[in-house]
Amino acid sequence: MLQYFDPKKECNPNKDYGTPSVNSDFETNNSADLVKITIDGQDIAVPAGTSIMRAAALADINIPKLCATDSVEAFGSCRLCLVEIEGRRGLPASCTTPVEEGLVVKTQNKKIAKIRRNVMELYISDHPLTCLTCSANGNCELQDMTGQVGLQEVRYGFEGENHLNAKKDTSNPYFTFEPSKCITCSRCIRACEEVQGSFALTLDGRGFDSKVVAGQAESFMDSECVSCGACVQACPTSTLMENSVIEQGQPEHSVITTCAYCGVGCSFKADIKGDEVIRMVPFKGGEANRGHSCVKGRFAFGYATHTERVTTTMIRNNINEAWKKVSWDEAVVFAAKRIKSIQTKYGTDSVGGITSSRCTNEEVYLVQKLIRAAFGNNNVDTCARVCHSPTGYGLKTTIGESAGTQTFDSVEKADVVMVIGANPTDAHPVFASRLKKRLREGAKLIVVDPREIDLVNSPHINTQHHLKLRPGTNVAFVNARADVIFTEGLHAQTYIEERWELEAFDRWEQFISQSCNSPEALADITGIPAYELRAAARLYAETKNGAIYYGLGVTEHSQGSTMVMGIANLAMLTGNIGREGVGINPLRGQNNVQGSCDMGSFPHELPGYRHVSDDAVRQLFEQHWGVEIDKEPGLRIPNMLDAAVAGSYKGLYCQGEDIAQSDPNTRHVEAALRNLDCLIVQDIFLNETAKYAHVFLPGASFLEKDGTFTNAERRISPVKKVMAPLGGKADWEATMALSNALGYEMKYKHPSEIMDEIASLTPSFKGVSYQRIAEEGSLQWPCNDETPDGTPIMHIDSFVRGKGFFALTEYVATTEKVNKHFPFLLTTGRVLSQYNVGAQTRRTPNSDWHDKDVLELHPHDGEDRGIVEGDLVQVKSRSGETVLTAHLTTRVQPGIVYTTFHHPESGANVVTTDNSDWATNCPEYKVTAVQLNKVNQTSQWQKEYEALNKQQVSFLPQADE
Ligand code: SF4
Ligand code: SF4
Ligand code: SF4
Ligand code: FES
C-alpha cells in the first residue's frame, strides 16, 4: 500500500530522520506533486527533494548512518548509509541522494553489509575502547551502529594514530570536548553553521590528520562559540558532552516543558534522574524553537537548586530586624492581617499587587483575581509596564490586538527584515539563529539601532543598512520613512482602500506629507543621512515580504507608544500584514510577558484586554467571582511608588518581580518600598525588593510546578513539574493561601482548573484547555469556536478592530536633553549570557562570560576625558550617579554610552530617570543624559547598597534555625 508522508506533520519529534524535511508546504501541494518510490518493497510517497534516507525513515526503515542527522544538511562522508538502486551502478549514499519517481531501492544486501562493517572497523580502530566507562554508554550512535552492522572484529588493531592522544578541552563550564573520541563526522561543525549561525568550528587538516577545532585552534571559551549546545546535541559520540551527564550519568526519563527565560518560549526535554534535572535538551517538536536552544535555556538551570534559594516562609515587623521563620499558615495570616489593617486605616485603595511575567498564566491570573476580588481594587500591574506596555497600547489602537501578528516560522518567508531597537542575538538568541539562517539564504537586513549589535557583523550576512539613529528620535525616523514610502508612491493603495479607515488615512496622509517629515528635514535630528534613509525605506516598501521585528529600543521611550503606532502604520501602508513572511513582531523580553498581559495584569483591563469600565465584562467576572469589581482603573507601578512615597499607598504583594533593581530611578523606588507597612515578596531568592519586605513567601522555579507560558507568538505552551516545590507550595498555591487568609475563598486543586476558568471568561482563550495543549503541543490564541486550532497569523482578511486605524505620530522631542552638564546619552541593554536582573543567571556559570556590567564608550570620548580601558567612571545623571568600569569600543557612537543592568551593585537604574511614555508610563530607559568623570572609588549609593545587602543577608535565618 502506498504511504504518503506530510513532512511537517507526520514526524515523531523523538526520532532522527537523518536529513531535514524539505522546505515545502505540504498542504498547498496535492498528492500529484509527491514523488513515489519503493524502498525494501514498501511504496512510499514523499515531497520532491526528500532524501532516500529520510523517505526510508518515514516508513520506519532505518538505514545505518553516522555523519547524518536531521538537524543539518547531509554531508555524505561516512559511507555507512549506502543503498542499492535498481538499474544504477554503484552504491550511492542515501543521505545525499534525493528521491526520484519510480526508484526501487534496497537498503540491505550482503555487499552493503560488508562495506558497512569495513567502515565501522576503520572508525573503531581509531576510537578508545572505553565504552563501559564512557559517559555516552547506552546513548552512543557509534556504539549503536557497531551493533547494527554486526561488527565482530577489527583487523587494523586499536592503535589509531590520529586522535587517541588528543587533549580534552574543558574550558566551557557546561560541556567538555574530548577529541580522542571524535569520528570527524562534522555534524558539530554543520550544526554550528546551519542551526546556530556562529561558524565557530572548522575541520582542520586533511584525511587522517583532520580534526575539529574551535575558532583559530583555540579553546571553546576563547573562540566565537556562544555555548548554544547545538554541536553537543548533534555529536553522535561523547566527544562533545554535557558536564552534567559526565558527572551524574545518563538521565532516566524526560518531561517536555518550556524555557523560563525569554519570550521566544523554547520547548525543552528536561532529562531527569530521580527528581534531579540532568540536562535540558531542546525539543525538536517545539514549534517556537524547532530543536534549537541558547546558553540560558540549555544550560543555565542550576539556579533552581542553588544554595541561595530561600525556601522558608518568613515574617518580620520592620526591615531593620531579623527574619523569623514561620509556617505557611502563620505567614499568610500575618500578611492578611496587615493588609486588612492598612485598608481599615488608609482605605481600600491603599494596597495593591504586581504580577510576575516569570510565573505561569494561571499564577498571574490568580494574582490579579486576588487583587480585584480580595483586595477590592484594580491596583494590579506587571513588569510589562516597564517593557512592552507601549506595544499593547500601540497595536490595540491601530490593528485592534495587543500582540504580535506572526509565528517565528514566518521569518523563513521574509525577503526584507527590519530590526528596530532589538538585539536578537543577545536577547532572543534562538529566534536570531532562525533569522540569520534566512538572511544567509538571501533575505535583506536593515538594522535601526544607535549601537552596532552583533547581527550587523554576523558571518555570511550582508547588512544592507545599519541606520545609527540618535537615541530618542525613533518617531522622527519612522515618520521620515513613511514619508518616503507615501510621497514616492510606494504604498499599497488597493490594500489601503480595502482595509483601512479611510477618514483616518486621509488625515494621516495630510500629516505625513508635510515637509517637516521628510528625511532631509529630519536628518539632523535622527543623525541618519537622508539618502540612506530613503534607500532603506524603498528597500522595505518595494519587496514582496517585508517584516518588522522590534524590541525595547522602540518601547522604552517617552514616545514608545507613538513609535509602535508608527511601525504599525508602516506595515499597513505597505500591505505587510496578514500573511507569512511579513508582520509586526514585538520581541518580548520575559518568558511570559505576553501571558501576563493577556491575563489581566493591567490596572485598567480584565483578562483578554477588556476594560474594567465595560459593565458587561465586569458583570461576567463579578458573577463568576461572586464579588463586585471596581469600575475605576487602578494604579500603575509608577503611581503606586509615587503614592507610597506620598504616604497614601501602604501595602504591596509583589510576586516574582524585582522592582528595586529593574525599575528606573532606584532611589525613588527604595524610598517607596521603605514607606510601606506591608511588603509581601514571593520569590525564589532574597532579591533586592525582598530586602525591604515584611513577609517572604518562597517562590517555586519553573521546574517545580505545572502551568503554561505564552510566548511572543501568542503560543501557549506547557510548563511541567519535575520536582516538588522546594518551599512547599507552587506559586499558585501560595496565592490561594493568601487569598483564603484574606477571606476570599479559592479552592483550585490543579492549575488546569484555573485555565478552565480563564477559558470560560476570555473569548480568545475559549478553546484552550490542558487537554488540547497536550494534544497539540501548544496553541496560539485566539483559540475559540472560529479558530479551534488557534491562530498562527493574525489579521489575514481583516483587522481585529475591523478596519485598520492610521494614527497620527507627531514627533515630540524628549525632555531628557544633553547639555554641557550632561553631554552624553546613556542607553541600556542586555548581553546573551545574563538575563534581565540576573537573579537566575548570576547564580550559574553564565557569569563566566559576564561577571559585571561595564560602561561602553567610544575611544574618542575616552581620549577626550582621559579615560582608558578598565578605569572607574562616574556616570552622573539628573537622577543620580553610579560608578562603572570603562570599556572602550567603536560599537557605540561618539557621544553615546551604553551599559547593562544585570548586576544590582552596578546601579544602572540609579541613573535612569522618571521620564516615561506619554500613554503607558513605560520608563524612558533608553535615553538618559549623563556626565562622565574618571574616579577612583564607587559611588555613595553603591556603598549604601553594599551595607544594606550585608545587613539583610545577615537577617536570614541560619541553616540550623
Ligand atoms: S556550542 Fe553552539 S556556538 Fe558553540 S561551537 Fe557548539 S554549536 Fe557553535
Ligand atoms: S565532535 Fe562529535 S560531531 Fe563533531 S566531528 Fe567529532 S564526533 Fe562528529
Ligand atoms: S532563546 Fe529564550 S526561550 Fe529559547 S532557550 Fe534561550 S532564553 Fe530560553
Ligand atoms: S550517513 Fe550518509 S554518508 Fe554518513
Ligand found nearest the CA of 186:
2
CB-CB contact of 591 with 261 (8 Å)? yes
CB-CB contact of 656 with 356 (8 Å)? yes
Nearest CA to ligand 1 atom 8: 192
Predicted confidence band of residue 798 (pLDDT cuts 50, 70, 90): confident
Nearest CA to ligand 2 atom 6: 182
**pLDDT computed for residue 10 by the predictor:** 62
pLDDT of 199 > 70? The answer is: yes
Compute the C-alpha angle 534/535/539, nearest 5°. 115
**pLDDT computed for residue 496 by the predictor:** 87
Q: How far is the CA of 912 from the centre of ligand 4 (A)?
A: 56
867-896 mean pLDDT: 95
**Cell, residue 779:** 496553541
Pocket test for ligand 1, best of 171, 195, 201 (most atoms within 8 A of CB): 201
Distance CA 917, CA 923 (A): 6
List, for residues 59-109, the tens digit of each pLDDT value. Answer: 999 999 999 999 999 999 999 999 999 999 999 999 999 999 999 999 999
Closest residue by Cα to residue 401 from 805, 750, 81: 805
Q: Which atom of ligand 4 is nearest to the CA of 185?
A: 4
The helix (run of H) or strand (run of E) holding residue 898 is: strand 896-900
Mean residue pLDDT of the chain comes to: 92
Distance CA 546, CA 410 (A): 11
Neighbours of 402 (CB within 10 A): 24
| β-strand pairing of 380-382 with 351-355 | parallel
List, for residues 438-481, the tens digit of each pLDDT value. Answer: 999 999 999 999 999 999 999 899 899 999 999 999 999 999 99
**pLDDT computed for residue 28 by the predictor:** 43
Say what percent of the chain tops pLDDT 90.
80
**Cell, residue 680:** 509581601
CB-CB contact of 231 with 201 (8 Å)? yes
**pLDDT computed for residue 23 by the predictor:** 65
| β-strand pairing of 3-4 with 42-47 | parallel
Say what percent of the chain tops pLDDT 70.
97
3-state secondary structure 793-843: CCCCCCECCECECCCCCCCCCCCCCCCCCCCEEEEEECCCCCCCCCCCHHH
Ligand found nearest the CA of 91:
4
pLDDT of 24 > 60? The answer is: no
In the chain, the amino acid numbered 746 is: M
Predicted confidence band of residue 274 (pLDDT cuts 50, 70, 90): confident
What is the DSSP code string of 541-600?
HHSS-EEEEE-HHHHSSTTHHHHHHHHHHHHHHTT--SSTT-SEEE--SBTTHHHHHHTT
**pLDDT computed for residue 29 by the predictor:** 45
Neighbours of 272 (CB within 10 A): 18
Going through 83-152 in order, the beta strands assigned E by DSSP cover: 84-85, 104-106
Pocket test for ligand 3, best of 279, 281, 294, 719 (most atoms within 8 A of CB): 294
Nearest CA to ligand 1 atom 1: 227
List, for residues 476-521, the tens digit of each pLDDT value. Answer: 999 999 999 999 999 998 888 888 888 888 999 999 999 999 999 9
Q: Where are the alpha helices (DSSP H) in 399-529?
A: 424-427, 429-440, 474-487, 493-499, 502-512, 519-526
Q: Which atom of ligand 4 is nearest to the CA of 82?
A: 2
Distance CA 187, CA 66 (A): 9
Task: Give 28 or 246, the one with higher predicted confidence.
Answer: 246
The helix (run of H) or strand (run of E) holding residue 324 is: strand 324-326
Question: At a CB cut-off of 8 Å and minimum separation 6, what does 158 contact?
Answer: 124, 125, 127, 129
Q: Which atom of ligand 4 is nearest to the CA of 81?
A: 2
pLDDT of 26 > 50? The answer is: no
pLDDT of 3 > 80? The answer is: no
**pLDDT computed for residue 325 by the predictor:** 96
In the chain, the amino acid numbered 791 is: T
**pLDDT computed for residue 960 by the predictor:** 60
In the chain, the amino acid numbered 721 is: K
**pLDDT computed for residue 27 by the predictor:** 44
Distance CA 324, CA 312 (A): 10
**pLDDT computed for residue 158 by the predictor:** 59
pLDDT of 210 > 90? The answer is: no
Q: Is 80 in the pocket of ligand 4 (CB under 6 A)?
A: yes
Q: Is 259 in the pocket of ligand 3 (CB under 6 A)?
A: yes
pLDDT of 370 > 50? The answer is: yes
Nearest CA to ligand 2 atom 3: 235
Q: How far is the CA of 236 from the centre of ligand 2 (A)?
A: 7
Nearest CA to ligand 1 atom 6: 231
Q: Is 878 in the pocket of ligand 4 (CB under 6 A)?
A: no
Q: Which atom of ligand 3 is nearest to the CA of 262?
A: 2
Q: How far is CA 743 from CA 355, 372, 375, in A?
A: 20, 13, 10
Distance CA 906, CA 894 (A): 22
Pocket test for ligand 1, best of 213, 227, 458 (most atoms within 8 A of CB): 227
**pLDDT computed for residue 32 by the predictor:** 52
**pLDDT computed for residue 958 by the predictor:** 79
List, for residues 608-626, the tens digit of each pLDDT value. Answer: 999 999 999 999 999 999 9
Q: How far is CA 480 from CA 380, 390, 508, 658, 724, in A?
A: 38, 21, 13, 38, 55
844-848 mean pLDDT: 92
pLDDT of 355 > 90? The answer is: yes
| β-strand pairing of 881-888 with 872-876 | antiparallel
Q: How far is the CA of 798 from the centre of ligand 3 (A)?
A: 32
Pocket test for ligand 2, best of 237, 238, 241, 242 (most atoms within 8 A of CB): 237
Distance CA 297, CA 268 (A): 8
pLDDT of 31 > 60? The answer is: no
Q: Is 830 in the pocket of ligand 3 (CB under 6 A)?
A: no
Q: Is 233 in the pocket of ligand 2 (CB under 6 A)?
A: no
Three-state DSSP class for residue 652 = strand
Nearest CA to ligand 4 atom 1: 65
Q: How far is the CA of 845 from the centre of ligand 1 (A)?
A: 16
Predicted confidence band of residue 525 (pLDDT cuts 50, 70, 90): very high
**Cell, residue 536:** 532603506
Pocket test for ligand 3, best of 227, 258, 266, 358 (most atoms within 8 A of CB): 266
Maximum Cα–Cα distance across the chain: 92
CB-CB contact of 404 with 549 (8 Å)? no
End-to-end Cα distance, the chain: 71
